[in-house]
Amino acid sequence: MSLKENKGKKSNMYRFVTHIWNPVRGKCPYECSYCYVNKWGNIQKPLFFDYSYLKDNLGNERIIFICSGCDLFAPDVPIEWIAAIKKHTMQYPGNKYLWHTKNPQRLVETIEPGPSDIACVTIESNRGYPSISKAPLPIERITYLNKWEGKRMITVEPVMDFDLDLFGGMLLETSLIQVNIGADSSSNGLPEPPPSKVKALIEHLEKHNVVVHRKDNLARILAA
């Protein structure tokens, strides 16, 4: 069985996720400097699809994070792989599926959202940090997330320094079921915002009735 139970209480994984399913694995082309998979260095394989996962029984009443170790919607992932994974999830409509990406343009172009599908897009700041990540710019991500016609979620992790009014407005301009905020889990030397700014962002979102999930690693910044 390739479907793994989430041990989120012992890591920084989303606690609301019950299971993790990684049919596509390998080196992510975004090469984000802070990504935990960097510790694997040169042993990472090129992206590949493990077709044996299509035999998995995904069960019922689960929240499944698909491809937690790479971006399923990165440019190098063949559309046939995405289609095969989506087709398999449709056999188990009693679950909820977290389609997590930094490239929502491709998500919108390849997935027809159903009631079981949640788009979760990572947007670390309103500012672009091209020296840290090769992912699309934040404004591009929010633009295409707004074109997703299903449930929407944003993850701000690792949170990097932002402009409060601009970033707060960006997060509020789309209809969200939740915003997840987390910090750098290692010492990657990222341009982090001061605690006061993060607290102000959370207060701003909650004032507008947005559910904010604080990931465990955010406590480091808030306590500073």
Give the pLDDT confidence of 27-78 residue by residue, as tens digits. Answer: 888 888 888 765 555 556 889 999 999 999 999 999 999 998 889 999 999 9
**Would you state the pLDDT for residue 58?**
97
171 pLDDT higher than 90: yes
Adjacent-strand bridge partners of 96: 63
Question: Between 195-207 and 164-172, two packed helices, what is the crossing angle to 10 degrees?
Answer: 30
Distance from C-alpha of 53 to C-alpha of 105, rounded to nearest angstrom: 26
Largest CA distance in the chain: 49
Strand, coil or helix: 77: coil
Domain 4-222 has CATH 3.20.20.70: yes
Summarize the confidence of residues 167-177 as an average pLDDT: 94
**Would you state the pLDDT for residue 35?**
83
**Would you state the pLDDT for residue 41?**
53
* Alpha helices by DSSP H, 29-123: 79-89, 104-110
Q: What is the mean pLDDT of the chain?
A: 92
Among 90-94, 101-105, 177-181, 187-191, whose mean pLDDT is lowest?
187-191
Summarize the confidence of residues 3-13 as an average pLDDT: 73
Give 120-136 as a 3 state SS string.
Answer: EEECCCCCCCCCCCCCC
* Alpha helices by DSSP H, 153-194: 164-172
pLDDT classification of 12: cutoffs 50, 70, 90: low
Distance from C-alpha of 47 to C-alpha of 104, rounded to nearest angstrom: 19
List the strands of the sheet with 63-66, edge to edge. Answer: 4-5, 19-21, 63-66, 96-101, 117-122, 151-156, 178-181, 212-214
147 pLDDT higher than 90: yes
**Would you state the pLDDT for residue 36?**
72
Locate 19 and state its tokens: 């299971």
* 8 Å CB contact between 23 and 67: yes
* 8 Å CB contact between 171 and 154: yes
Distance from C-alpha of 119 to C-alpha of 96, rounded to nearest angstrom: 11
145 pLDDT higher than 70: yes
pLDDT classification of 186: cutoffs 50, 70, 90: confident
